[in-house]
Amino acid sequence: MATPTQEEQQLHFVVFPFMSQGHMTPMIDIARLLAQRGVIVTIITTPQNAARFKATLDRAVESGLFIRLLELQFPCAEFGLPEGCESFDMLPSFSLALNFYQAADALETPVTLS
C-alpha cells in the first residue's frame, strides 16, 4: 500500500470569499495566517478580484507559504452586468445588486466541478 505524500497529509482549507472588498481583504489575511501554520490554502475567486490582491499573494508564496489561487470566470453578461463587474463595489448602480447575487450564485456549479 502506498504511503500518503506530505501534501496529502496536510490540512487543506478552501476559501471562497464573497466578492466584495470588505469580505475579500479579511479572507486573504485569514488565508495567510492559516498558511503560516502549515496549512495548504486554496482561494477561489474571479480574475478581477484576484488582480486586487495578487501582489500580496505573490509575496506570501515567495516566502514559502502554500497558497493556491483558483480563478473562475464571473458570468457578467449572462446576468446583465457590465463586463468586468466582478465585485459588489464595482456595481455602477445598486439596482444591479440582485443581478450580481444571481451571478455569484451561478458560480456554485463550476466550484462543485473544480
pLDDT of residue 5: 63
State the pTM of this model: 0.83
Rounded distance, CA 68 to CA 57, Å? 9
Q: Residue 70 to residues 18, 44, 75, 95: CA-CA distances in angstroms?
A: 14, 5, 16, 29
**Alpha-carbon Rg for the chain in angstroms:** 16
Report residues of the chain scoring pLDDT below 50. 1
End-to-end CA distance of the chain: 28
Question: Where does 10-113 sit in CATH, by number?
Answer: 3.40.50
Q: Give the per-residue pLDDT at 44.
A: 95
